[in-house]
Amino acid sequence: MNKMTVRDIEVTGKRVLVRVDFNVPLDAKTGAITDDSRIRASLPTINYLLEHKAKVILLSHLGRPKGKVVDDMRLAPVARRLSEILRQQVKVATDCVGTEAEKAVAALKSGDVLMLENLRFHPEEEKGDESFARALASLGDIYVNDAFGTSHRAHASMSGITHYLPAVSGFLLEKEINTLGGLLDSPTHPFVAIFGGVKVSDKVAMLKNIIGKVDYLLIGGGMAATFLKAKSYEVGASPVENDIIDIAVELMKNAEKSGSRFLLPLDVMVADKIDASAAGKVVPVDAVPPDKMIVDIGPKTIELFTRELEKSRTVFWNGPVGVEEIPQFAKGTHALAKLLPRLKARTIVGGGSTAEVITSLGLADKVTFVSTGGGASLEFLGGDALPGVVALRDKV
């Protein structure tokens, strides 16, 4: 990565604004954090700043409050969890700009940590408002972006703030860019990519960019129905992106021309509805009943995908290959997830729901890298420049 990082700038005694992605999942009933991996992912940057006696001021969003104060989306629970991890108090401000935020920042001493309130309580954040960005910038001396997961957004705290402060990368952002960039620039072959999830349209740019660089593309999830339809298979009641059919055909032709093998399911599990009470049935891919929808890959497909993965030396996975949140439709996704640690390969998981699966199965520390960015990973691997990264200072 050709951007300056926190190690390239003097931070001792400075007020350092760190944009983190602490948009953690919370239990709907208790409000407890159910997965703190996003908090832990930024610990290298936070600890570095503390070791160098900086005044650490954390900026984050949580949920989708749509520009209004929502008590269930306050960042106090996140600050408490971070306090436990750091074994020191993380102070909490009642706002992210204005008098209360200014008072909280003014009271900081070197080595202190302060969590500002949810950025998205202010509609100006997502609008990229310059005045709001300037108000945030006034609280610090240096800006550090360690929030890869939101770096594809041109929000006030991502790119707007960089107009007013020296802006550098944190260690998590650096690792994300270097790891995902290395996938395209220098993968060890055979390189196998697994793509799942609901929509092909979300991944078109990434598929176009990665075809020709991979040896095998393994396709599952809801998006498999669109590719199967493009090959003239009947897919029953499965949701299909009909406006993407021609693009799906083009992608498969391009893969063939470039030498990348495009593997679709041989068999699938079908059900009459996506519901925890629904029963699944495995059928060949050419025998999907007209009143059923595809909800998972079948055992023959798992065997096929496993054979190719066992030959791999680099694996990238983005998107579950079934309706993973329903246990009986999660067999394919869980089988592939449990296979990853056994491979003699560099294994990279592309954020979002795939990262949640890996974490929930206790496998996050058994794969090479789990990205913290769903949409950001897609856009970066699709060849798009990320506003939050572009805005940082270049290395001299």
Same domain as 263, residue 160? no
Q: How many domains, in total, are found in the chain?
A: 2
On whether residue 390 sits in a domain, the answer given is: no
Q: Pick from 175, 205, 221: which residue ends a domain?
A: 175
d(CA 137, CA 97): 9
Tell me: do 12 and 159 sit in the same domain.
yes
Give the model's pLDDT for residue 375: 85
Are residues 300 and 376 both part of a single domain? Answer: yes
Q: Do residues 191 and 169 both lie within one domain? A: no
**Domain co-membership, 243 together with 318:** yes
Q: Are 361 and 327 in contact (CB under 8 A)?
A: no
- Tell me: do 81 and 34 sit in the same domain: yes
List, in sequence order, every beta strand (DSSP E) within the chain.
15-19, 55-59, 90-92, 113-115, 142-145, 167-169, 191-195, 216-219, 261-263, 267-271, 281-284, 293-297, 314-318, 346-349, 369-370
Based on the domain organization, do 151 and 197 belong to the same domain? no
The answer to whether residues 377 and 242 belong to one domain is yes
What's the CATH number where 129 sits?
Answer: 3.40.50.1260
Final residue of a structural domain among 145, 175, 205: 175
Q: Give the pLDDT score at 322.
A: 96
Angle at 176 between CA 170 and CA 181, to 5 degrees: 130
Domain residues for the domain of 364 are 187-381
Q: Is 38 a catalytic residue?
A: yes
- Tell me which residues of the chain have a pLDDT lower than 50: none
User: Which residue among 3, 38, 175, 229 is the active-site one?
Assistant: 38
User: At which of 142, 175, 208 does a domain end?
Assistant: 175
160, 222, 352, 388: which one is catalytic?
A: 352
pLDDT score at 353? 87
Q: Per the residue annotation, which of 53, 127, 134, 199 is the catalytic one?
A: 199
Burial class (CB in 10 A: 0-12, 13-18, 19+), 109: exposed
Which is catalytic among the residues 311, 375, 382, 393?
375
* Residue 388: active-site member: no
What pLDDT, on a 0 to 100 scale, did the predictor assign at position 1? 81
Residues 195 and 161 both lie in one domain: no
**Token pair for 268:** 């699938």
